[in-house]
Amino acid sequence: MAALLGSGCSEEPIERTLQIVTGHETDTFSASPAVTKIRIEARTATGTTFAAETTPGGAFDLGEVPEDEPLGVEVTGTTAEGATVVRGRSLTGIVPGAFATVDIPVFVQRVGTWARPPGELARAHVDAPGAVLGERFLVTTGGSAAAGADGAADVRLGDFYDLLGWGPAVTSAMPREARSIVGRIGGMLLVGDAGASAVDTSGASYEVAWPESAGSFAEVAGGLVVESPSGTSFVVGATRAGAATEEVLAVDTSGALSVRKLSAARTGAAAAWAPGVGLVVAGGSATAAGFEVLPENGTAFVARDMPADVTEGAAAVVAGDGKMALVGGIDAGGAPAATRRWSASCTSGCTMEEVAGATLPVGLTRTQAFSLGGSRVFVVGHEATAQKLVRAFVIDLSGPVVEERPLREPRSGATVVAAPNGTLVLLGGALEDGSPARRVETFFPD
């Protein structure tokens, strides 16, 4: 499907084509229940909306959309009964006149399932960190291995997926093997065991020093990056498996580094930002408090009065009612950890309440969780088995209901990144036959 966009700012409007693409999927519109109507909306930065409707395979005309004004495109596909089953969303800063070609692609997919957008990565990194660069590119580099069509490659090479052009991009080798990445508009911070490097969008880089006389980047490398509303990023070393640590690296909006220390060292802990509370770190210790908090604008973590929790590999997420949930992970016996909930604002006599029927059917490690609104959360992690396949589930905590959302291409060692267009994106890893998983998968919540 295509739409003509004509500039209202020139004597002879330039016609550009908005292409609605389905990537590697062939049944986006025809799968049951089928799509019968498609609505396309283009909204400018000033709030002006251009809209059109069509049917699968049809054309549409949005009229004279400004060539030089940033806009975002939203596509919705509905059934004969009016249910939304297909969605697509561009980045919000599309400037039609900036495209070198007349075709502007917008990827759409079935909601609530994984789908594969156009193109594929040049190389697939395994067990690598990921981040968003410049609010446009998804990046992976580092990890335990990297491979492309020609075989094994240097893990320091950078591999990107462009959410505007829906295709791959690559860079030469990065200055170090990254285990954590802090992404920014103008560049990124690569954190490895031997140090850290700042890399800007031109590829220029420089070494960054650890901000204290004691400690090192090795104590946070591989840790989950948690973003705060103020723009400060926290690399929480205690979320890693292996050696316990108390170090948390803070990176503010200017790029300045500082260190916050947990009240006790942890390993395989869960971490998330709780609005109105701060950075919450839970589990991962048989002796430390069940959770602790770095208050908003605080300089020190405060242990809360809750029994110790040995769960490792779980994720923490704030549900729609404001309570936190601990999902995934494994317990002391190696079995799937129970899904539990608690109030992050609690200060004394705190307890976790198990959500009966909401425990995942398999233990997950390196788990990440995202709120879908209301009582629903999305959970993705690696099986706590030798194969370490990536598994994804939607949990309705009020049901409770646990539904698996299988990948299009089962893989291990993949990286999950929350993309700026509101989707979750799976990058890299290895397929079940050991070959590199170069196709990207995206999940658009239903």
Q: For 263-298, how does the pLDDT look when each residue is reduced to its tens digit (9 = 90+)?
A: 999 999 999 999 999 999 999 999 999 999 999 889
Distances (CA, A) of 329 to 292, 320, 388: 18, 22, 13
**What's the chain's average pLDDT?**
93
The model carries a pTM of 0.93
- Between strands 103-107 and 15-21, the pairing is parallel
Show contacts of 276-279: CB within 8 Å, 24+ apart: 276/345, 277/344, 277/345, 278/228, 279/226, 279/228, 279/234, 279/236, 279/248
* Confidence band, pLDDT 50/70/90 cuts, at residue 9: very low
User: What pLDDT is recorded for position 5?
Assistant: 53
Which one, of 134, 129, 38, 122, lies nearest residue 80 by Cα?
38
3-state helix, strand, coil in the chain (%, to 5): 0, 50, 50
User: What pLDDT is recorded for position 66?
Assistant: 82
User: What pLDDT is recorded for position 10?
Assistant: 46
Contact 143, 421 (CB under 8 A): no
Strands (E) located in 82-227 = 84-89, 103-107, 109-110, 114-115, 123-126, 130-133, 137-140, 145-148, 151-152, 157-162, 167-173, 180-183, 187-192, 195-200, 205-208, 224-227
Contact 137, 158 (CB under 8 A): no
User: What pLDDT is recorded for position 265?
Assistant: 98
User: What pLDDT is recorded for position 102?
Assistant: 67
- 181-236, pLDDT tens digit by residue? 999 999 999 999 999 999 998 889 999 999 999 999 999 999 999 999 999 999 99
Checking if the pLDDT of 17 tops 70, the result is yes
Helix (H, G, I), strand (E, B) or coil at 278: strand
Q: Kindly state the tokens that stand for 367.
A: 């788990």
Find tokens 């006599």 and name the residue: 349
Residue 124 has phi, psi (to 5 degrees) of -110, 120
Compare 101 and 370 and report the one with higher pLDDT. Answer: 370
* Confidence band, pLDDT 50/70/90 cuts, at residue 46: confident
Contact 359, 403 (CB under 8 A): no
* Confidence band, pLDDT 50/70/90 cuts, at residue 70: confident
Q: How many CA atoms lie within 13 A of 222 on its CB side?
A: 21
